[in-house]
Amino acid sequence: MAELKADVLVLGAGMVGVGAALHLQKRGRDVILVDRHALAGEETSYGNAGIIESASVFPYMFPRNAGEILYYATNRAPHVRYAIGDLPAFLPWLVRYYFASQPDRALRGAMGVLPLIRQSLVEHEALMAEAGVPELLRKDGWIKLFRSEKALAKAIGELERARQYGVTGDLLDAKAIAAREPHLSGDFAGAIHLPQPGFVPDPGGLAKAYAALFMRKGGRCLVADATSLEQTSGGWRVGGAGNTAIAREAAIALGPWSDLVFKKFGYALPFSVKRGYHLHLAARGNAVLQHPVLDAEQGFLLAPMNRGIRLTSGVEFARRDAPATPVQIERALPRARKLFPLGDAVDAKPWKGARPCLPDMLPVIGRAPNHPGLWFDFGHQHHGLTLGPITGRLLAEMMTGETPFADPAPFAAERFG
């Protein structure tokens, strides 16, 4: 097989990489999308809650309340779990996460990413129309359930703060919850319905649809080890054993595996992952779930996917490649069955994935400071599905010399020194 040549190599065929490839292609670049899988969206982009979170103004930051921190530290919280044996590996990063979550720093970060959040659903809608898959978008929003008055009051306060930035939400009492989701059971203090976000019932399928669009427009895909990237006199090469490609520029969009490449070139970014799990189950009888539903205090979310009802866990802090420990799914399952009539599992075992994170919960988008022609597009934390296409646009504008639609400075790698 001859060595392929292109203008740009995009490493990673998840939602982030495919989004970047499409926008570079739209601007006249010849792009090769490189992934270890023959199909797009087989990793992190497959295993999320399916929410295009266009109403999420404030990122998931480290708690500031001492009691809440102690609650998490004792490993009792359903939302967060950590592997004690892996603690030395991720504790330094957690310390940086804590300091990056100071209110003033967190607000600056939120304002930096807000233009991307606001545009995220619009960008997806345009791509879905072009890809011919408008049926993969539902525009009914999602629901947060609260079992205690204290948790509900806190959520209402957060909603009022978010309203300053254009977020809308409806406060639901028990009757209103039942009207929207008649098959839910439980004693709830109330709920909040966020109508603005979109929902995708097949996130992996959406990534594949976007990749198919990329191919129809002349894009090429290469199955190869993206971590083999090396610099050459003429640019960048990836692959080996007969499946190689070379280009003037390369963009790292490998999600939780991005560090395997950028570290090779001497970049010491504070990169880590938050692991998560999901399990699909059938609904019993004629039960129907209309929206993604978060049981906020019990730490799980149910989403009505095409494959079945997807039960998703909270966050697990552990090494990316450590063996699966789906304790959160196991604990959530009996609680989820009380919330909604779930039948048998569709999956043989829970799926495990990892969310790539920087301590300020902002992605790294832009030039690699010390290597001309190398670009970064990773670290989208919980919002890879949401932000993949719009950060792809931002990156493509930077790479092609356009005036970026949003200020890219908050996402520069140089922010970490």
- What pLDDT is recorded for position 65? 84
Q: What pTM did the predictor assign? A: 0.96
Average pLDDT over residues 32-42: 95
Q: Is the pLDDT of residue 1 over 70?
A: no
> Which residues face 221 on adjacent strands?
33
Element (H, E) at 377: strand 374-378
Q: What is the mean pLDDT of the chain?
A: 95
Domain map (residue ranges) of the chain: 4-47+204-270+360-416, 72-101+137-200+272-357
- Asked whether the beta carbons of 293 and 284 are under 8 A apart, the reply is no
215 vs 221: CA distance, rounded Å: 8
CATH code assigned to 4-47+204-270+360-416: 3.50.50.60
pLDDT digits (tens, 9 = 90+) for 166-191: 999 999 999 999 999 999 999 999 99
- What pLDDT is recorded for position 301? 98
- Expressed in angstroms, the distance from the first to the final Cα of the chain is 42
Q: Cα 199 to chain center, whole Å?
A: 13
CATH superfamily to which 72-101+137-200+272-357 belongs? D-Amino Acid Oxidase, subunit A, domain 2 (3.30.9.10)
pLDDT digits (tens, 9 = 90+) for 239-281: 877 789 999 999 999 999 999 999 999 999 999 999 999 999 9
C-alpha distances in angstroms, 285 versus 292, 305, 342? 19, 17, 9
Count H helices and E strands in the chain, helices first: 10, 21
What is the DSSP track for 237-278?
EEEETTEEEEEEEEEE--GGGTHHHHGGGT-----EEEEEEE
pLDDT digits (tens, 9 = 90+) for 69-125: 888 888 888 989 998 888 888 899 999 999 999 999 999 999 999 999 999 999 999
Q: Is the pLDDT of residue 33 over 60?
A: yes
30 vs 116: CA distance, rounded Å: 25
345 vs 310: CA distance, rounded Å: 10
What is the DSSP track for 267-322?
-----EEEEEEEEEEEEPTT----S-EEETTTTEEEEEETTEEEEE--EEES-TTS
Neighbours of 211 (CB within 10 A): 25
